[in-house]
Amino acid sequence: MGSDIQGSLWEATAQGRTDWPTLRGDLTTDVAVIGGGFTGCGAALALAGRARVALLEAENIGAGGSGRTGGQVIPGLKYDPDELERMFGAELGPRFVEAVGSVGDEVFGLIEKHGIACDAVRKGWLQPAISARTLELVRNRCEQWARRGAPALFHDRDRIAALVGSTIYHGGWEDKRAGHVQPLSLNRGMATAAERLGAQICSQSPVLSLQQENGRWQLRTPGGTVTADTVLIGTNAYTDKLWPGLSRTIVPMVSIQAATDPLPPALGAGILPQGHCSSDTRRLLWYFRRDAAGRLLMGGRGPFRENILPDDLVNLRAAVDRLFPQLRKTPFRYYWGGKVAMTKDHLPHLHLLAPGAWTVIGYNGRGVGLGPLLGRYLAELALGKKPADIPFPVTAMKPIFGYPFTRTVARALVKYYRYLDRREAA
């Protein structure tokens, strides 16, 4: 490992504005948005110019999961389209599948429309299979999306080896709707675009309390208050105690990433040569891609704390060495981590918390695409759209039963999944 190893690659290379004002004094607005990640900024951007909107972020724009992600914009969810249609029925099911399949158009459309500089690359996502069993799963997944008209291609072992640049996989599928971005640049760019259209964006403004008085929401921050008709909460894995019980609807798990220096052509030429991003079929998946400067990024499950230490990178190091043996002597230059919000049913949840208070929570590691989309849905609900007109189920909040034990269960599951993955990919 290099001795000058540093923090987040995205912090070191992001473009865009960082000097947002802190809320000072009292403000009245139509909609207050809590959280300055993809969800909150997506909501503010969709509302700006159509209603008065103020966004309050506790730290900096992009400080939560959004500014730390792998930047992979991946359509779909853990469940395949046929299964989702079965789960949500004949009316909502197909609309739901279409919505979660549309995140590439949503995100890359926003980037183009608002001219956001964020190293956007839309060359597709590869899901290579670690075993003959998971190859059948992805063959089925690919077939289901292709049947719905998606540009989905199944690849045999040789073709996947050429596209990934590694011979360890059994084959896989490609979703051409997908792509990748510099996530912190995108997050900042969305905030800037929202402000340009009239939204008020405040950083270093944690919402300390939220109360309804005379039919309006009162939000208190250290520097001032906001009074709003509607409040939208986009705090995902960074949800605190602000809304009682909300943090107990998710299990925050830590994901970590590391990046090399830009790879010299002799080492990097064969690695993801067509610009794909990728995450494989492990239960604790390996996700990887190149960035605009040609660095290799590798991500995976981290420890049960956010304070990441060089020793925590041992699994990522082993992943790089196995996938790309030519990089065995190439050190990581950057490493960082953050929290991912997992739900018990592996689905994101859109809740009506109280009249005029909405949230989306629990992206299960798919918020780069889903965050801007569901942020827009929150905005449409705030503007008066009926829940039935949103292609997403609106449900009541339900904390996980036996929540205090989820951490223990999660630890045991991670160990077990790591064992199963090792055995299956051996």
Ligand X SMILES: Cc1cc2nc3c(=O)[nH]c(=O)nc-3n(C[C@H](O)[C@H](O)[C@H](O)COP(=O)(O)OP(=O)(O)OC[C@H]3O[C@@H](n4cnc5c(N)ncnc54)[C@H](O)[C@@H]3O)c2cc1C
Interface with ligand X includes 337 (CB under 6 A)? yes
Which residue's Cβ has the minimum distance to ligand X?
A: 367
Interface with ligand X includes 363 (CB under 6 A)? yes
Nearer to ligand X (CB atom), residue 339 or residue 351: 339
Interface with ligand X includes 36 (CB under 6 A)? yes
DSSP H helices, 269-364, are 314-323
Subset of residues 103 to 162 that bind ligand X, contact rule: CB under 6 A: none
Nearer to ligand X (CB atom), residue 143 or residue 150: 150
Nearer to ligand X (CB atom), residue 65 or residue 93: 65
Q: What share of the chain is helix, strand, coil (3-state, %, to 5)?
A: 40, 25, 40
Interface with ligand X includes 236 (CB under 6 A)? yes
Q: What residue ranges in 57-208 does DSSP mark as E strands?
A: 72-73, 125-128, 152-155, 172-175, 179-180, 200-202
How many residues of this chain interact with ligand X, rule: CB under 6 A?
45
Interface with ligand X includes 238 (CB under 6 A)? yes
Subset of residues 366 to 385 that bind ligand X, contact rule: CB under 6 A: 366-369, 371
Cα-based torsion angle of the residue sequence 7, 10, 13, 17 in order, rounded to the nearest 10 degrees:
-120
Least distance (Å) between residue 280 CB and ligand X: 13
The DSSP secondary-structure symbol of 162 reads I
Least distance (Å) between residue 91 CB and ligand X: 27
Work out the burial of residue 3: count CB atoms within 10 Å of its CB; fewer than 13 is exposed, 13-18 middle, 19 or more buried.
exposed
Of 4-12, 60-68, 258-266, 350-358: span binding ligand X (CB under 6 A): 60-68
Q: Report CA 381 to chain centroid distance, whole Å.
A: 22
Q: Is 384 left (phi over 0), alpha (psi -120 to 50) or beta?
A: left
CA angle 34, 71, 242 (to 5 degrees): 20
Interface with ligand X includes 76 (CB under 6 A)? no
The binding site for ligand X (CB under 6 A) comprises 34-40, 56-59, 63-66, 68-72, 74, 206-207, 234-238, 240, 242, 255, 257, 287, 299, 337-340, 363, 365-369, 371
